Amino acid sequence: MAELIAPGLWRLDIPLVGNPLKNLNSYLITGERNLLIDTGFNQPPCRDAMERQLQEIGAQLEQTDIFLTHLHSDHTGLSGVLHREGCSVFIGAVDGRRLVEYAGDQKWHRIYEGYIRDGFTLEQMKTLWNTNPAKMAGPGQAVSYTWVEDGTELTYGGRTLRCVRTPGHTPGHMCLYDAGNRTLFSGDHVLFHITPNICRWDGVADSLGDYLASLDKVRNLAVDCLLPAHRQETGNLKNRVEELKEHHSHRIAEALRTVRETPGLTAYEIAGRMHWSIRSRNWDEFPLTQKYFAVGEALSHLDYLEVRGLIRHTLIHEKNHYTAADISEQ
Ligand SMILES: [Zn+2]
């Protein structure tokens, strides 16, 4: 059921079946024209839930523009299905460019080759080729996007929404800030109960460093109503920013400790020694798609340490091996 949060502002609950994120919150601002923020995977359970709740509200897709906080397929997947002629689909320019690239196979070949160098086997990556939801449940090439920049303002339902670029979770992630109503649509930048996945991105030197800077960027916004893109939980922005920063400083220390204790591991092996909140007894039992995200996350922490000169990696027998910078000369 769609939930009325404030006059003219709805939360639509979109199930992400079989995904540990559990659900996506789409938000709908109604007015002369509507704005739908984020959409769900391009899969039938998401589509059914979306169409049913739009119908409950009485929102017409012909009068609905779409805003995508970032390129991930659980946010962008249905944009092609929901888009009607004459309507706009907004996305940050940085993620918009990438979304076009990810619609083809070439980019994925490059990403997967990188993951093999970081410790996955060719067999594992072949299995992921047709099962990874990041690759399979996206919007394809169905829509032409309208790119927005940091500071772009959109007006819907009497609300002025400012785009706030918050790179980290993705290179072009955007929050939407409605200063007049002290409301922040935080996308996957600030989540409650779960921590946003911060992984390595092709062409980005330090996505975790970017993420931590983006947390500081939103920390002091005046916000009474914080609307994240997953789960029901919400809360205080400043407190949550501090918790997320603390979480990552523990993870950074854990990654550094792992590299120091056992020099020469691959990112895959380092991820296997880090602690994860997923309910599996050990690394071998992790589902392959979760390993993919876990290794991506470990890599962002390794990049953070490497950019700051604390560790380094060396390519040996076509795999990247990590050592602490202060003991690598041994
Ligand atoms: Zn995301």
Q: What is the pLDDT of residues 253-275, one digit of tens each?
A: 999 999 999 999 999 999 999 98
pLDDT at 104: 77
The rounded Å distance from CA 95 to ligand 1 centre is 11
The rounded Å distance from CA 37 to ligand 1 centre is 13
pLDDT at 330: 45
The rounded Å distance from CA 317 to ligand 1 centre is 33
- End-to-end Cα spacing for the chain: 62
The rounded Å distance from CA 100 to ligand 1 centre is 17
51, containing H or E segment: helix 44-57
Domains contained in the chain, CATH given: 3-104+133-235 (3.60.15.10), 113-131+245-324 (1.10.10)
List pLDDT tens digits, range 283-297: 888 888 889 989 999
- Is residue 162 classed as helix, strand or coil in its secondary structure? strand
pLDDT at 129: 82
Q: What b/e sequence results for 84-100 when a residue is b if at least 16 CB atoms lie within 10 Å of its CB, and e otherwise?
A: eeebbbbbbbbbbbbbe
